[in-house]
Amino acid sequence: MIFNKIETDRVCIVIASLLLSALILSANAERITTTVGTNNTDWSIARQSDSIKFDYSQYVQGSISPVEYRGRSLEPYHSSYEEVDVNDLRLRARTSARKGDYASEGLILLRADSANSSEFVLSIENGTFMGEFVEEWPAILRSSKSLRYSGLGINSREYAGNNLDYAGSSLLYNSELSKDSGIDMLLTRMNATVQGISLSPDDTVLSAQFMPTKETYYSITTSSTGIADFKYGFFSPNAGLKKSIYPMASEGEERYYGDYNISRSIHMKSDFPRYEEEDDWISCCSAG
């Protein structure tokens, strides 16, 4: 059996838009990869921690129209994107539009703390092994977006990911579009366990669990005149042993063609408290 732990640094926050104001007060990063390898199967976990405070606001209103440049007329076009990836909270947004009237307003708030250290403990006893990875790197990510458009065509996509959970929308080929969306994601802590047989040459991973304590809200209200796609996924904490991946416990996808008024709200939450051995409240309170 092979145990490996690698640490590197990483921070990823990318914002691109027409008009914006942003404030980053502090940032530092730590990345940890832990691997348990056997003759038959492998298990690994990669985690990123950042201590950062980030605030962003944006407002745009105007007409996407041709511009004269060096004797020629440039085709009217608007493009913007936003991307945040911190402590396994992820936000991605893309907008592209042709000639027309355009207005948008958005806010992003991010708080993350990696002051506490992570811990991985591997124990081997009586031909079996158990590894437990524990971290307490809390993070919160909030985003709101309002958009209004009328013209030759616009595409607007957004995606929210909290560990392996996700939700998002794609609004495509719209000549008229209004959208109001909100995203709130919270990560409190995470613990993961792996168990297996340690007797060579038959050592193997028998079970693995990935258990972040987290919460996600995603809401959208839109009037769409093109194609509207909506997706979500809520993962299971128990890994599939053959591929060592965590399957979805619930997922869904919807698609609409034409003119629709749509409202959608999703709430996903998981809580995995860790109990210390001395907190044996069952035996204490059931005695006698």
Residue range 176-213, pLDDT digits in tens? 999 999 999 999 988 888 888 877 777 778 888 889 99
The mean pLDDT value of the chain amounts to 82
Residue 212's pLDDT is what? Answer: 92
Which of the four pLDDT bands, split at 50, 70 and 90, describes residue 286?
A: very low
* DSSP label at residue 285: H
Q: Is the Cβ–Cβ distance between 264 and 220 less than 8 Å?
A: yes
pLDDT value for 3 = 46
Which of 50-59, 83-92, 222-231, 243-252 has the weakest average pLDDT? 243-252
Region 259-288: mean pLDDT is 69
Contact yes or no for 84/24 (Cβ under 8 A):
no
Residue 243: band (very low, low, confident or very high) from pLDDT cuts 50, 70, 90 = low
pLDDT computed for residue 47 by the predictor = 78
**Under 8 Å between Cβ of 237 and 246:** yes
Angle CA 27–29–31, to nearest 5: 165
Asked if residue 278 belongs to a domain, the reply is no
Does residue 83 lie in a domain region?
A: yes
Question: pLDDT value at position 30?
Answer: 67
* Residue range of the domain that includes 66: 2-272
* Token output for 89: 């909270």
The answer as to whether 279 is a domain residue is no
Residue 78: the pLDDT is 92
Of 29 and 17, which is predicted with more confidence?
A: 29
What mean pLDDT comes out for the span 6-35?
49
CA–CA separation, 253 and 232 (whole Å): 7
**Residue 277 included in any domain:** no
User: Residue 91: inside a domain, yes or no?
Assistant: yes
Q: Is the pLDDT of residue 274 over 80?
A: no
| Residue 262, Ramachandran bin (φ over 0: left; ψ between -120 and 50: alpha; else beta) | beta
- pLDDT(81) > 60: yes
Question: 282 in a domain, yes or no?
Answer: no
Beta-carbon contacts of 110 under 8 Å, excluding residues fewer than 6 positions away, are 13, 52, 53, 54, 55, 84, 86, 89, 139, 140, 141, 142
Contact 21, 57 (CB under 8 A): yes
**Residue 46 pLDDT > 90:** no
Mean pLDDT, range 260-274, rounded to an integer = 91
- Quote the pTM value: 0.80
- Kindly tell me if the per-residue pLDDT of 137 is higher than 80: yes
Residue 12 domain-assigned?
yes
Torsion region of 258: left, alpha or beta (phi above 0 gives left; psi -120 to 50 gives alpha)? left
The model's pLDDT over 10-20, given as tens digits with 9 standing for 90+, comes to 333 333 333 34
pLDDT value, residue 4: 46
31 domain-assigned: yes
pLDDT for position 90:
94
First to last CA, the chain: 46
- 104 touches 143 (CB < 8 A): no
- Report the distance separating Cα 160 and Cα 91, nearest Å: 5
Quote the number of domains for the chain: 1
Q: Over 70: is that where the pLDDT of 52 sits?
A: yes
Most confident of 83-87, 140-144, 200-204: 140-144
**CA atoms of 106 and 147, how far apart (whole Å):** 9
